Structure 1
Amino acid sequence: MRALGYAARWQYGEYKYKTGGNMQPKRVDYLSYEPEGNGILWIKFNRPDRLNALYGLAEQDSTMAKVGEYMRAGDADPNIRVIVLTGVGKAFCAGADMKSRSTEQLSDPGVDGTRQHFSEHFTPLFRDISMIRKPTIAMVNGAAVGAGLDMALHCDIRLGCENTRFFTYQNVGQIPENGALYLLPRIVGMGRALELFFTGGFLEAEEAYRWGLLNHLYASEELESKTRELCDRIINSPPLVQWISKRIMRTAMDTSLEATMQLTANASGILDRSEDSREARKAFLEKRAPTYKGR
């Protein structure tokens, strides 16, 4: 099963959220699943009294597990075109709930047990966010701390406001986990990523925007409306082109120019024969808006 591609893993039932045509996941109150008829799916961290700190660790009903489940459900739903991850209240996500964890009586699993726990539980959850076909946006409405920062990094696009703050793991004696050490240097550059990790791991909104960590920076009262405007532009673009471009770009992060150009040559031949491609050309000649079906 591990060797199968993402689409094949859906087909063979590794992800069990598509049953009987119903693509709605099991809901929990600490993470909202809000699909809209316009094609936008809002996934919202919903523990505002705890600054949207994560519920649980990596178990089945933890916040991180549910983020992956919700995103996979949205990815499988043909009515969803773009997925927005954000927080309720004044924070995006405060990361692990350190207050509740400090009161837990946990046995020490040892170094190898900890490594295995991350490898088998956390790593697949974050990898799933990056593997989503459809465009994903992190609307970072406030503090993104630790795993909250990691989840924002795994999204395709990040939008923020003057309240946006990014914090890494230094203050709890850890290195950035869950792909942050891979993604952040590729987004902001090696020097800036190392500067962040060497100096305490705190980044304000303006600097995050200058570094390229945020695609756009808006006033807080405009953040949602501007996010919706971006979603509308995404929805009006052909979905197959988006999905294939995203996959090739992410693959290109670890391959050569020649290999990437071969991938694009193969993809162009497939797209040229798609229904959406024919519709785009026809709409252009007829001077009308195209209607895309994702096939």
Structure 2
Amino acid sequence: MTAPSPAAVKDTKSPPLASELLSGALMLTMQRPERMNSLSEEMLAALQAGFDAAAQNAEVRVIVLRSTGKAFCAGHDLKEMTAARAHADRGRAYYADVMNRCSELMQTIVRLPKPVIAVVEGLATAAGCQLVASCDLAIATDTATFCTPGVNIGLFCSTPMVALSRNVGRKQAMEMLLTGEVIDASTAKQFGLINRIVPKDYLEVVVRKYAETIASKSPLTLKIGKEAFYAQAEMPLAEAYAYCANVMVENMLARDAEEGINAFLQKRKPEWKGE
């Protein structure tokens, strides 16, 4: 019997990211449990492609990011990172490329014109914690844990710090970054890293409810709102009000706003056109 070629063996391997569209909700599932769904080159590319495609698909109203196995995401693939030290430049070019690609992925999630919900089961560590913080909403099981442990191995979690410090209080972010200690779901909720804690048996029901609720809204309104939220957050108060007042004016002139207000006054369900 002839042994299969390496390429043939690779082809039988399941893709790193599974995709399923359910009633306007795109379920993206990281499925490399044997590698703790780490952000390997393969996973980074798959996630980037998945989010880019979702941005262009009019049928997608909301994205749900989840995982298989015991970890949500273990951050960067340290085996790949270590192997790059054998390069002539000790890995400098490789590390710069990986960090840039990871940073672009996180910014893609923030810039995406559709809400992204992280569903966390198990551990979210380092860049995996960054991934959770970059999503618009996060739902976790009561056994989920979070940490930015780079300081423990001599590598401060500087890029995860960007997303973390924009989603939790400064002192809470520094606590996680300086100690590298694992926090439980309850503490993560207190810090503002996640929205809700759900028993595992009810996770699917709650996630579907969140997704269906968001998917039922006007896609144009969601796009306008998400873009404005992140833009105003970086502005001084007066500038933020001026910017958002203009956003409200333009939104009020949209057909979906006209339809939504009329439907409310007429006590009927609105019919969104996305315009």
For Structure 1 versus Structure 2, the TM-score category normalised by the shorter chain is: 0.7 to 0.9
Contact persistence 1:142–1:165 (CA under 8 A): yes
Q: CA deviation at 1:115?
A: 6.8
What CA deviation, in whole Å up to 9, does each residue of 1:261-295 have, x standing for no partner? 12222212221221111110221122111121221
Matching residue's letter, 1:257: L
Structure 1 residues 75-114: aligned runs within 5 Å: 75-99=55-79, 102=82, 106-107=86-87, 109=89, 113=93
Q: CA deviation at 1:40?
A: 0.4
Pick from 47, 56, 76 the counterpart of residue 32 of structure 2. 47
Distance 2:47 2:34 in 1: 19
Contact persistence 1:283–1:289 (CA under 8 A): yes
| Unmatched runs of 5 consecutive residues or more in structure 2 | 1-12
Distance 2:190 2:107 in 1: 27
Secondary structure at the aligned position of 1:283 is classed as: helix
1:102/1:197 Cα in 2 relative to 1: closer, same or farther (>3 Å)? same
Contact persistence 2:110–2:135 (CA under 8 A): yes
Higher mean Cα deviation, 242-251 or 214-223? 242-251
Secondary structure at the aligned position of 1:65 is classed as: helix
Pick from 188, 192, 207 the counterpart of residue 208 of structure 1. 188
Pick from 140, 146, 149 the counterpart of residue 126 of structure 2. 146
Distance 2:267 2:143 in 1: 43
Structure 1 residues 58-77: aligned runs within 5 Å: 62-77=42-57
What CA deviation, in whole Å up to 9, does each residue of 1:79-123 have, x standing for no partner? 000001110133211223334655667315359646743564332
State the match for 2:153 in structure 1. 172
Secondary structure at the aligned position of 2:210 is classed as: helix
CA RMSD in angstroms comes to 2.3
1:124/1:80 Cα in 2 relative to 1: closer, same or farther (>3 Å)? same
State the match for 2:237 in structure 1. 257
Distance 1:74 1:287 in 2: 32
Matching residue's letter, 1:42: M
Is 1:29 matched with 2:15? Answer: yes
Distance 1:159 1:223 in 2: 8
The structure carrying a bigger helix percent of its residues is: 2
Q: CA deviation at 1:210?
A: 1.6
Q: Which has the higher contact order (CA 8 A, sep 6+)?
A: 2
Q: CA deviation at 1:204?
A: 1.2
Distance 2:174 2:49 in 1: 32
Q: CA deviation at 1:226?
A: 0.4
Higher mean Cα deviation, 285-294 or 98-107? 98-107
Higher mean Cα deviation, 209-218 or 47-56? 47-56
Matching residue's letter, 1:164: A
What CA deviation, in whole Å up to 9, does each residue of 1:142-181 have, x standing for no partner? 1112221111111001110122111212233212243x32
Secondary structure at the aligned position of 1:86 is classed as: strand
Structure 2 length normalisation: TM-score?
0.86
Contact persistence 1:68–1:129 (CA under 8 A): no
State the match for 1:129 in structure 2. 109
Secondary structure at the aligned position of 1:187 is classed as: coil
Distance 1:103 1:271 in 2: 51
Structure 1 length normalisation: TM-score?
0.81
1:120/1:54 Cα in 2 relative to 1: closer, same or farther (>3 Å)? closer
Higher mean Cα deviation, 257-266 or 129-138? 257-266
Structure 1 residues 219-234: aligned runs within 5 Å: 219-234=199-214
Q: CA deviation at 1:45?
A: 0.8
Identity among equivalent pairs (%) = 29
Contact persistence 2:141–2:198 (CA under 8 A): yes
| Unmatched runs of 5 consecutive residues or more in structure 1 | 1-26, 57-61
